[in-house]
Structure 1
Amino acid sequence: MAHEHGTNRQTADSREHQKRLTMSLALTLTVFVAEVVSAAVTGSLALLVDAGHMLTDLSVLVASTVTAMLMRRKPSNVRTWGWARLEVITAALGALMLLFVGIYALAEAGMRLFGAADDGVRSPVLLLFMGVLGLTANVASMLILHANSEDNMNMRAAFLEVVNDALGSVAVIVSAIVLQATGWGGFDAVAGGVIALMMIPRAALLLRNAARVLLEETPEGLDLDEVRTHMEHVPHVVAVHDLHASTVSTGMPVLMAHVVVDPGLSMTQGAEILAQLHSCLQEHFPVSVEHTTFQLEPDGCEVSRTEHLHDEACETQETDGSPRSAGKR
C-alpha cells in the first residue's frame, strides 16, 4: 500500500509539473516567435541573440515537459525505462543549436562593430517594447515555476533557464535605451555579443551534462569507492565487485553490483541484506539511488566462475530494489 501511495503521489506531482511547464512553454514560445519577427523588422542583433537565448529555454522546457508527461506512463516490455532518455537527446540538440547561435552572434557582433556589416537598428521603440515584453514573459514564467522549482532537477533546470534568460531581456532593454539616448547603433552589437557570451557557457554545460548521461558516466556527486566501502560494511557482506552506476535521465540514477556474502545464508537473511543495501544507497549518499540491482554470490562462487567450473551449488539472487520480491526467490 505504501508503494501504491508513493506512486499515486508521484503521478499527481508529475501532473502538476506538466501543467506549470506547459503554461511556461506556451508563454515562452509566443514571445520567441514575436522576437524573431521583431528582430527581422528592427535589424537588432541583441534582439536576435536574445531570441536564440530563448530558444534554449524552449528546448529545456520541452524536455522538462516531456519528462513530466513520460513519468505518468508505465514502462513496457519494449521500453523498460519508457521514453525518459528522450529528455537527454532533446537537451543535447538544444545545446548544439545554442552553440551555433552563440558563435554566429559573436561573429556578427564583430563585423558590425568594425564596420564590415550594417549596424543600423531601424526601430528602437519596437526594440524597447520587445525587450520589456520578453522580460515580462520571463518574470511570469518565474512565478509559474517557482512553486515547484525545488521538486526535482527538471523543475530546477527549467526555473534557472528562465531566470538566466531574463538577463538577456534586460540587455535588450538597455540597448534600446542607449540607442535612443545617444543614437549609437554600435551598442546593439555590444549587447548582442554580451548575450552570446552568456549563452555559450550554458550551452556547453547543458551539452556536457547530456553527454555524461548518454555515455553512462557515474552520476555526479556519487563516489563509487565510498559506495563500495559502505556496502562492504553491511553484515555478512564479504566483498563487492562489478559495481556500475549511471543515469537514465534527469533524477533517475541506477546502480548494479555483484555482492559476495557469507556462504550458507538463508533466503530470509539474503532478503535482509538486500534491504540494507538498498536503504544504504537511498539514505547515506548525496545522490539517492532508488533503482538498484544486486546479485548475491556465496563466498567462493566467483572463484569457481573465474576458473570456468560449473558449481550447481552456487545460487544467485537478484533484486530491482524491492527486497520483498527478492525474498520470494
Structure 2
Amino acid sequence: MYRRNQKSLKAWPPSFTPLLNARPCHTSHETQYNSISMGDEDELVHQHSSHHATHAVRQLTWALILTLIIFIVEFIGGLESHSVSVLSNALHLLSDSGAMALAYYAAKVQAHPPTARLSYGYRRSGILAALINGLALVILSTLLIAAGIYRLIRPQTVQAPVMVWLGLLALVFNAAITLLLIRHEEHDLNVRSMFWHAVSDAAGSFSVMVSGLLILWTHWSGFDPLSGIIIGLVLFRASVAITRKSIAILMEATPLGIDPAAIEASLRLIPGVDDVHHIHVWALESGYNVLSAHVLTGNMSLREGQQLLATLKTRLTTDFAIHHVTIQLETDHHPHPDDDCIHPSS
C-alpha cells in the first residue's frame, strides 16, 4: 500500500526513493496528488469475503445437523437389521459429519478480520480444511473400493427390504444437504469439498436403495459391492482434484487460467513501462488472486508515477482478475543531490 506520508515513501525501492523524497517546489494544489491505496479495496474485499463466509457457515450448520440425524437413523437401523452395508454407509456419514464440523470451524474463523500478526486474516483456514477433507476423502474412497472388492470375493447375506427403506430415507436427506451447499461450492474450496462429501453420501444412499431392489429381484447380493466400487472410484477422482488444488494454493502456485507471460506482455504495452520483471502470481484462497511485480520506468515525476500505478492496477484487475496488486516502480534515473525539486512538467 502506498500512502503520502514520509514513512510509506521510505518503503519505495532505493532506485526510486531519491525522486520520491524530493522537496516539492510548490505548496499549492499541485502537491495534493495521492498515491495508490489498496486499503479501501482490501476492506471491501474482506467484507465481500466475510459475507460469503457468513452464508457458508449457515449452510454448513444445516448440513451438519441433517448429516448427524441421518447417521443416527442409519446406525440404529443397521444394528437392528444386522445390515453391514447400511452400517458402512452410517460410518461413512459419521466421517462426513467430522469433516463438516471441521469445515464449519474453518468457515467461522475465515470471517474474522485481519490482525497485526495475520495481515491477511484467516483466509487460508478454508484451504487447510479443504486439504484435510480432501485427504480424508482419498482414504475413505480407497477403503470403500477395497471393501467392495472384498465383498465381491466373499459375499454376505443382506436384508434387502431394510436397505431399500433406509437408502430412500438417507437419499432424501442427502439430496437436501447437496442443495444447501451447491450455491457456494463454486466459490469456496472448503464448501466444495463438503459438497462432494454430500454427493458421495447421496450416491451411497442411492446405491444402497438400488442394490436392495436388485437383490430383491435377482437374489444376488453382489450388486451391493459393485455399486460401492463405482461410487468409490468417482469419489476418489473428485477427492484427488480437491487435494491437488489445495496443495497448489498452499504452495503459492500460479492459479490455473493465469499466464504470467501474458501479463508481462500486456503491461509492456502500457505507455511509460520500459520493462517488467519479477512477476509473481498466486492465490491467497480459491478465487482471490495476488500479484507482485517490478516495473522499470523512465524519468518521471511522482504524479506521473501515481498515474502509471493506477493504469497498471486497472489493467491487472479488469483483464487478469488480480484482486491484490503490489508493484515496485524502478527507474534508471538517479538525480544529483541538488536536483531535489519535483517539477510538474518533469
TM-score interval (norm. to shorter): 0.7 to 0.9
| Aligned equivalent of 1:59 | 99
After TM superposition, give the deviation of residue 109 of structure 1 in Å: 1.9
2:156 aligned partner, one-letter code: D
| Aligned equivalent of 2:129 | 90
In structure 2, distance between residues paired with 1:105 and 1:10: 36
Alignment counterpart, residue 284 of structure 2, candidates 212, 229, 248: 248
2:330 aligned partner, one-letter code: E
After TM superposition, give the deviation of residue 98 of structure 1 in Å: 1.9
SS in 2 for 1:217: coil
In structure 1, distance between residues paired with 2:100 and 2:201: 12
In structure 2, distance between residues paired with 1:213 and 1:312: 46
Q: What is the Cα-based RMSD across aligned positions, in Å?
A: 3.3
In structure 2, distance between residues paired with 1:278 and 1:78: 26
| Aligned equivalent of 1:279 | 314
Give the structure-1-normalised TM-score: 0.77
Alignment counterpart, residue 120 of structure 1, candidates 136, 157, 171: 157
- Higher RCO (C-alpha under 8 Å, 6+ residues apart): 2
What's the % identity of the aligned pairs?
27
In structure 2, distance between residues paired with 1:133 and 1:32: 11
| Aligned equivalent of 2:301 | 266
CA distances 1:276-314 after superposition (whole Å, capped 9, x unpaired): 2222221112xx21112111111368xxxxxxxxx999x
For residues 6-45 of structure 1, the aligned pairs below 5 Å read: 8=47, 10-32=49-71, 34-35=73-74, 42-45=82-85
CA distances 1:90-136 after superposition (whole Å, capped 9, x unpaired): 22222222222222222222222123xx5222x32332233222211
Alignment counterpart, residue 233 of structure 1, candidates 251, 266, 269: 269
Mark the CA change 1:146 to 1:203 in structure 2 (over 3 Å): closer, same or farther.
Answer: closer
Structure 1 residue runs of 5 or longer lacking an equivalent are 302-310, 314-329
Would you say the 8 A contact 1:46–1:189 is kept in 2?
no
Would you say the 8 A contact 1:49–1:196 is kept in 2?
no
SS in 1 for 2:285: coil
Would you say the 8 A contact 2:193–2:242 is kept in 1?
no
| Aligned equivalent of 2:118 | 79
Count of residues in Structure 1 that have an aligned counterpart in Structure 2:
297
Worse-matched range after superposition: 184-193 or 9-18: 9-18
In structure 2, distance between residues paired with 1:239 and 1:203: 42
1:119 aligned partner, one-letter code: Q
In structure 1, distance between residues paired with 2:160 and 2:201: 21
Q: Which has the larger radius of gyration?
A: 2
For residues 122-271 of structure 1, the aligned pairs below 5 Å read: 123-146=159-182, 158-159=194-195, 162-163=198-199, 165-263=201-299, 265-271=300-306
2:317 aligned partner, one-letter code: Q
In structure 2, distance between residues paired with 1:66 and 1:203: 20
| Aligned equivalent of 1:297 | 330
Structure 2 residue runs of 5 or longer lacking an equivalent are 1-38, 339-346
Mark the CA change 1:171 to 1:39 in structure 2 (over 3 Å): closer, same or farther.
Answer: same
